[in-house]
Amino acid sequence: MAVAMASGSFSVCAGLKSVTNHRLSSLKEVHFNSFVTSSRRLLSSAALDVPKAASAAAVEDGETDTVPIPKVVIDQDSDADATIVEITFGDRLGALLDTMNALKNLGLNVVKAKVFLDSSGKHNKFAITKASTGRKVEDPELLEAIRLTIINNLLQYHPESSTQLAMGEAFGIDPPAEKVDVDIATHVNVYDDGPNRSLLYVEAADRPGLLVDLVKIITDINISVESGEFDTEGLLAKAKFHVSYKDKAISKPLQQVLANSLRYFLRRPSTEDASF
């Protein structure tokens, strides 16, 4: 997710936090619209009432039996003025007009859009800004709402994608056949990236609210998030953050504290369930 993230903008919404700390299975009765609106007060009037896919008959005729792995990239690094979103699902995606309209309902403008093909499939790429400011999105809660809105539209218009997405467990017609072992899937690494910042890589099992939780854990130990990229690849989430401590690269001892904090949280995602 290449998005310029000002450290002061990372306030965490209690509504989203309470939902993300519950197991994904507990979301079975939760409508996607109510989940997103609880994550951001400003979305309370947004038209996100998209029903859960009800039938596999929506899968287009002529498609192969092999379902491609959906990929959603939220990129804050590659454009100084806009958040870049890229969506890939083999060659099955159309113009995504419904997705663009859903993003506009979040108070966003799609200022540029393009489509290109490569060996991995058809890529739909959007440049997004906040309608109120004309600037890129820096709030992690809104970035997570963007991600979940895109995934929800994938589940609605391509219900076959539910078997390849973690959110298919709660919102799709068929849950993923594979279950991700969080201990095996979790990887956290911190590298030096010059004198003034470090590079943090995180890979983990995907779930709603993960982006917000990652940023909160990082900033709770007084580390600033400058920019980053957040990728959803099937059942996994992969994040890259440029981070610093007091405008300097993170020291080795603090790198270890950061890595241990993230590993503990990601490998034990339900440790706080008893508090609710």
Could you tell me the two tokens for 201?
A: 């890589």
pLDDT truncated to tens, each residue of the chain (276 aa)?
444 444 444 433 333 334 334 333 333 333 334 434 444 333 333 333 333 333 333 344 444 578 999 999 999 999 999 999 999 999 888 878 999 999 999 999 999 999 988 887 899 999 999 999 999 999 999 999 999 999 999 999 999 999 999 989 888 889 998 888 988 899 999 999 999 999 999 999 999 999 999 999 999 999 999 999 999 999 999 999 999 999 999 999 999 999 999 999 998 755 444 443
Strands (E), 5-132: 71-75, 83-88, 108-118, 121-130
H helices then E strands: how many in the chain?
A: 8, 9
The pLDDT value recorded for residue 60 is 41
Output the pLDDT for position 29: 37
**The pLDDT of residue 171:** 82
Q: Is 241 exposed, middle or buried (0-12, 13-18, 19+ CB in 10 A)?
A: buried
| Distance separating alpha carbons of residues 266 and 196, to the nearest angstrom | 27
Which of 188, 152, 184 has the alpha carbon at shortest distance from 170?
Answer: 152
The structure's pTM equals 0.76
* Closest to 47 measured CA to CA, from 129, 103, 130, 94: 103
